[in-house]
């Protein structure tokens, strides 16, 4: 029997926790009342969608109230887009910032500068592309995978800033 995948790691309330990364482990980590929806989503996912579906449920399996609060604050602080006629969704080259929990996780990476550069090259240039998906149907709350790390972030179009609020590192 092949070895199971090593769990991923993230910080929740300053404590390093493991994040399940197999379908059975994700399902087991979910509250009982969410498992049927998880089963439907996983079973309906095609080959091009399975990674995004698993990423979404991995984030839900290990909730981070601080990250959710930061996302809500960023959304409420978002000003109306400038009257330049350019939709925030079509602007390119967002400044990337890291909320303290994500910055703390980044500090644990072997090559944080390479990761920062990869993130800037990918979702920093096109926060709505690169395989990212909206979170709970909100276009500016997004999740993506960059260099094997799962990234939860918020896009502030009016100030062209992408704020990383949570990172889940691969082993």
Q: What is the largest CA-CA distance in the chain?
A: 59
Q: Which residues of the chain have pLDDT under 50?
A: 1-3, 79-91
Domains of the chain: 8-61 (no CATH), 65-168 (3.30.2310.20)
1-41: pLDDT as tens digits: 344 567 688 878 788 888 888 999 999 999 999 999 999 99
pLDDT of residue 5: 66
**Residue 109: Cβ-neighbour burial (10 angstroms; 0-12, 13-18, 19+):** middle
- pLDDT score for 107: 86
């Amino acid at each position: 029997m092949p070895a199971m995948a090593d769990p991923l790691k993230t910080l929740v309330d300053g404590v390093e926790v493991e994040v399940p990364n197999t379908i059975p482990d994700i399902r087991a980590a979910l509250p009982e009342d969410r498992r049927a929806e998880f089963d439907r989503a996983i079973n309906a996912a095609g080959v091009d969608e399975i990674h995004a579906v698993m990423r979404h449920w991995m984030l839900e399996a290990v909730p981070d109230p601080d990250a959710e609060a930061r996302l809500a604050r960023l959304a409420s602080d978002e000003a109306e887009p400038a009257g330049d006629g350019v939709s925030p969704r079509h602007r390119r080259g967002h400044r990337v910032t890291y909320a303290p929990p994500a910055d703390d996780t980044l500090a644990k990476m072997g090559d944080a500068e390479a990761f920062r550069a990869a993130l800037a090259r990918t979702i920093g240039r096109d926060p709505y592309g690169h395989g990212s998906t909206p979170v709970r149907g909100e276009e500016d709350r997004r999740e993506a995978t960059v260099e094997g790390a799962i990234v939860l972030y918020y896009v502030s179009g009016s100030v062209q800033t992408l704020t990383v609020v949570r990172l889940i590192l691969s082993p």
